[in-house]
């Protein structure tokens, strides 16, 4: 087995943990490499995560580290996260459990597939998200006007500070803070959450991923799109965005952590 380690490089404790875990696995006869950025930060060789042939990707950091790794992988690889951030909902391992768990993973593991969404702007692909994509006003205290279209049929028009479309995995992130429901990640659907809507009737929607969903801006006010908190794109006043289920889901190594137990442990007890 070959394991690629990806660390949050601006956090010394994460880098040192990464080095220690990588050396521990190497001592057990596992082939270990660092991604290019982590290798440079540790003064060691590295390889691009976009073209790695590793069997497993180990991310040490927070949810941002994991989201960026998923964004950059050319082909999705089974991934496990070790939390060095604050909440780290996508990271299934805590530092004290990491070495034992990684040694067990090296002997074999099962994979949980997590739906992602693909976004296109005026017909041109612009990115893929594991958590969410957010359309937000570029001018504070100014509202945007949207139309929502399901399967080419106009469904709703509303005014809000923005609009968020999340996966079930992303339901525990920005969508939850914006008032959306928690969604079992085994469900495949699009979660639409208006941000500070003007009308009380503008409520979150959970839509089957078999449908196509489009958003049409109907406002002269400037806006931008943020994908997984990593990529930002300026939008024209009358931009039209299309959301579809991505053909390649993210692959998470299953370490037996129940979703609802994680909600209780990481979100309800903060």
- Rounded to whole angstroms, the Cα distance separating 149 from 171 reads 21
Total count of domains within the chain: 2
Are 53 and 128 part of one and the same domain? no
Are 124 and 157 part of one and the same domain? yes
The one catalytic residue among 10, 35, 63, 152: 63
pLDDT in tens, 232-256: 999 988 899 999 999 999 999 999 8
- Rounded to whole angstroms, the Cα distance separating 195 from 180 reads 10
Structural domain that includes position 27: 2-114+249-267
- Whether 252 and 91 have beta carbons less than 8 Å apart is answered as no
Instruction: Let me know if 63 is a catalytic residue.
Output: yes
Tokens 């449908």 locate to 211
Are 195 and 93 part of one and the same domain? no
Are 102 and 16 part of one and the same domain? yes
Are 76 and 150 part of one and the same domain? no
Task: Give φ, ψ of 81 to 5 degrees.
Answer: -110, 140
Whole-structure pTM over 0.85, yes or no?
Answer: yes
pLDDT at 158: 86
Tokens of 263: 């909600």
Residues of the chain with pLDDT under 70: 141, 268-270
Are 156 and 263 part of one and the same domain? no
Are 123 and 104 part of one and the same domain? no
Are 151 and 186 part of one and the same domain? yes
Are 147 and 218 part of one and the same domain? yes
pLDDT at 257: 80
- Whether 49 and 36 have beta carbons less than 8 Å apart is answered as yes
Residue 208, domain CATH: 2.60.200.30
Are 125 and 230 part of one and the same domain? yes
pLDDT at 268: 67
pLDDT in tens, 49-79: 999 999 999 999 999 999 999 999 989 999 9
Are 93 and 158 part of one and the same domain? no
Are 232 and 257 part of one and the same domain? no
């Amino acid at each position: 087995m070959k394991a690629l380690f990806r660390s949050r490089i601006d956090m010394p404790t994460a880098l040192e943990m990464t080095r220690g875990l990588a050396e521990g696995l190497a001592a057990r006869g596992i082939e270990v490499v660092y991604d290019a950025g982590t290798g440079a930060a540790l003064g060691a060789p590295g390889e691009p995560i976009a073209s790695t042939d590793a069997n497993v990707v180990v991310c040490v950091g927070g949810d941002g580290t994991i989201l960026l790794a998923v964004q950059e992988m050319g082909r999705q690889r089974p991934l496990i996260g070790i939390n060095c951030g604050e909440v780290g909902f996508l990271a299934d391992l805590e530092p004290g459990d990491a070495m034992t768990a990684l040694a067990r993973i090296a002997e074999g593991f099962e994979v949980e597939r997590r739906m992602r969404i693909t976004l296109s702007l005026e017909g041109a692909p612009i990115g893929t998200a594991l958590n969410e994509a957010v359309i937000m006003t570029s001018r504070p205290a100014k509202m945007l006007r949207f139309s929502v279209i399901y399967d080419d049929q106009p469904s709703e028009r509303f005014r809000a500070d923005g609009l968020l479309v999340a996966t079930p995995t992303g339901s525990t992130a920005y969508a939850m803070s914006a008032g959306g429901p928690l969604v079992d990640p085994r469900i495949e659907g699009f979660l639409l959450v208006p941000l500070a809507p003007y009308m009380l009737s503008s409520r979150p929607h959970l839509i089957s991923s078999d449908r196509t969903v489009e958003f049409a801006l109907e406002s002269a006010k400037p806006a931008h799109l943020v994908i997984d908190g990593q990529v930002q794109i300026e939008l024209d006043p009358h931009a039209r965005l299309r959301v579809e289920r991505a053909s390649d889901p993210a692959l998470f190594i299953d370490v037996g952590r129940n979703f609802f137990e994680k909600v209780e442990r990481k979100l309800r007890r903060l």
